[in-house]
């Protein structure tokens, strides 16, 4: 029997740190969007983070890919994992609360399981995964609310945009396993962000024009936060946890992020969420716990 990976005290601390970083990114993006167009905001995020990660890669002496096929795969990965979800979520946050965006972001784990089951023979849907996915989607539907589904408006579209971003994340995970599994994770992250920059920087200049330097210190600080900490730094921490604890344990971060984001949104932006969002979050969390499976296994052993 293969030994199951456990979570040490250090890994729990790193999981909470990653959740704090990524939980705060929704607030940072929302603050930046008050002064920076969302396309330019995404361009800032991927371009400067790519430079930081390439500095890390070169300092470590990691092997950089030279063939066009790999760089083509990195370009597609950049679109799936950065360009599409970052853009959809940034636009969505113009119309919905940052805490709600974080709740919907948790569906990444659910979509990831479903896409993996479609693409890979060794990740088929089991009864547990199916039940967890169905409950998770019920939580999302509850958070959206029946009124939003009946009365479709810009808020409803923004919610669907954020969920669409999480679906893109799921396809990115499958693409990474298919095409990028031979690269060092840090190189893959730097290359992915470079591919994203190739798309987003020209798009920002074409759509928004030359970026304005006349922005407040708050906007500058928000951009610096999601570039340095929530993108470049978070990727390094992400891969550190992945190597030490495995992907199943890493998924727990999606359960920790929404409460942090909701709390930050309430304190800084004075956001208030309807009760159905909190009920939906609870149902979604139950779905993710079932998907993870370890809690159920522990109950069965006891």
SS3 readout for the chain: CCCCCCCCHHHHHHHHHHHHHHHHHHHHHHHHHCCCCHHHHHHHHHHHHHHHHHHHHHHHCCCCCCCHHHHHHHHHHHHHHHHHHHHHHHHHCCCCCHHHHHHHHCCHHHHHHHHHHHHCHHHCCCHHHHHHHHHHHHHHHHHHCHHHHHCCCHHHHHHHHHHHHHHHHHHHHHHHHHHCCCCCHHHHHHHHHHHHHHHHHHHHHHHHCCCCCCCCHHHHHHHHHHHHHHHHHHHHHHHHHHHHHHHHHHCCHHHHHHHHHHHHHHHHCCCCCCHHHHHHHHHHHHHHHHHHCHHHHHHHHC
Average pLDDT for 95-108 = 86
Quick check: is 63 in a domain?
yes
Quick check: is 108 in a domain?
yes
- Work out how many domains the chain is built from and give that number: 1
Q: Which two tokens stand for residue 76?
A: 């597609």
Q: Look up the domain containing 202 and give its range.
A: 9-301
Residue 146 pLDDT: 63
Residue 228 pLDDT: 95
Residue 2 pLDDT: 45
Mean pLDDT lowest for which of 148-162, 230-244, 258-272?
Answer: 148-162
Residue 5 pLDDT: 52
pLDDT winner (highest mean) among 55-69, 178-192, 252-266: 55-69
Quick check: is 25 in a domain?
yes
Entry pTM: 0.85
Quick check: is 3 in a domain?
no
Quick check: is 83 in a domain?
yes
Residue 73 pLDDT: 96
Between residues 47 and 98, the one the model is more confident about: 47
Quick check: is 28 in a domain?
yes
- Residue 2: how many other CB atoms lie within 10 Å: 4
The dihedral formed by the CA atoms of 91, 98, 15 and 82, expressed in degrees to the nearest 10? 0
Q: Is there a contact between 84 and 168 (Cβ–Cβ < 8 Å)?
A: yes
Residue with tokens 């940052």: 98
Q: How many C-alpha atoms does 196 have within 13 Å on its Cβ side?
A: 32
- Residue 79: how many other CB atoms lie within 10 Å: 22
Distance CA 107, CA 140 (A): 8
Report residue 124's pLDDT band, with 50, 70 and 90 as the boundaries. Answer: confident
Quick check: is 4 in a domain?
no
Report residue 213's pLDDT band, with 50, 70 and 90 as the boundaries. Answer: confident
Quick check: is 242 in a domain?
yes
Report residue 112's pLDDT band, with 50, 70 and 90 as the boundaries. Answer: confident
Q: Which two tokens stand for residue 146?
A: 């029946």
Give the sign of the dihedral formed by CA 160, CA 161, CA 165, CA 167. positive
Average pLDDT for 150-171 = 85
Residue 6 pLDDT: 57
Residue closest to 93 by CA, chosen among 142, 150, 42, 167: 42
Residue with tokens 């030279």: 66
């Amino acid at each position: 029997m293969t030994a199951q990976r456990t979570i040490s005290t250090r890994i729990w601390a790193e999981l909470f740190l990653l959740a704090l970083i990524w939980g705060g990114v929704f607030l940072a993006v929302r603050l930046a969007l008050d002064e920076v167009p969302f396309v330019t905001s995404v361009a800032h995020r991927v371009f400067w983070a790519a430079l930081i990660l390439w500095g890390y890669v070169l300092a470590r002496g990691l092997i950089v890919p030279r063939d066009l096929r790999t760089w083509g795969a990195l370009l597609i990965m950049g679109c799936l994992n950065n360009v599409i979800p970052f853009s959809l979520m940034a636009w969505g946050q113009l119309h919905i609360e940052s805490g709600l965006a974080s709740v919907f972001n948790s569906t990444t784990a659910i979509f990831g399981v479903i896409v993996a089951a479609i693409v890979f023979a060794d990740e088929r849907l089991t009864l547990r995964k199916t039940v967890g996915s169905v409950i998770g989607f019920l939580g999302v539907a509850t958070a959206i609310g029946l009124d939003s589904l009946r009365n479709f408006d810009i808020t409803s579209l923004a919610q669907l945009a954020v969920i669409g971003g999480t679906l893109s994340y799921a396809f990115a995970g499958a693409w990474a396993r298919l095409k990028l599994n031979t690269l060092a994770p840090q190189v893959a992250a730097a290359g992915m962000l470079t591919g994203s920059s190739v798309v987003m920087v020209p798009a920002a200049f074409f759509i928004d024009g030359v970026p304005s330097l006349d922005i407040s210190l708050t906007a500058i600080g928000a951009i610096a936060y999601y570039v340095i900490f929530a993108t470049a730094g978070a990727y390094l921490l992400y891969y550190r946890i992945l190597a030490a604890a495995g992907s199943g344990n890493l998924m727990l971060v999606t359960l920790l992020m929404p409460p942090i984001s909701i709390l930050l949104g309430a304190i800084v932006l004075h956001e208030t969420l309807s009760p159905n969002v909190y009920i939906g979050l609870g149902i979604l969390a139950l779905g993710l716990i079932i998907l993870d499976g370890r809690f159920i296994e522990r109950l069965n052993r006891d």
